[in-house]
Amino acid sequence: MKRPARDGWVRQRTDPDPAASYGAGFQSEDTMTSLTATQPPPTEVDDPPDALTLLIADHYHLHNLFAHFEHALSTTRKEWLRDQICRELGVHMQIEEEILYPAIPTPADQPLMVTDATVEHAGIKHLIGQLCEADVDHPATLRQMLALSACMTRHVHEEHNTLFPRVWASSVDIAALGVRLAARQRELLA
pTM of the model: 0.73
Longest dimension (CA), the chain: 51
Q: Residue 184, exposed/middle/buried by CB under 10 A (0-12, 13-18, 19+)?
A: middle
Please determine, for residue 3, whether its predicted confidence score (pLDDT) is greater than 90.
Answer: no
In sequence order, the 6+-apart residues with CB closer than 8 A to the CB of 65 are: 34, 81, 84, 85, 88
pLDDT surpasses 90 at 32: no
Q: Domain 48-189: give its CATH code.
A: 1.20.120.520
Question: How far is Cα 104 from Cα 85, in angstroms, rounded to an integer?
Answer: 26
Query: From its phi and psi, is residue 160 left (phi > 0), alpha (psi between -120 and 50) or beta?
Result: alpha
Query: What's the N-to-C CA distance of the chain in angstroms?
Result: 23
* Domain ranges (residues) in the chain: 48-189
pLDDT of residue 42 exceeding 70: no
pLDDT tens digits for range 59-88: 999 999 999 999 999 999 999 999 999 999
Say how far apart CA 147 and CA 153 lie, in whole Å. Answer: 10
Buried b (16+ CB within 10 A) or exposed e, 43-58: eeeeebbbbbbbbbbb
pLDDT in tens, 109-160: 676 778 888 888 999 999 999 998 899 999 899 899 999 999 999 999 989 9
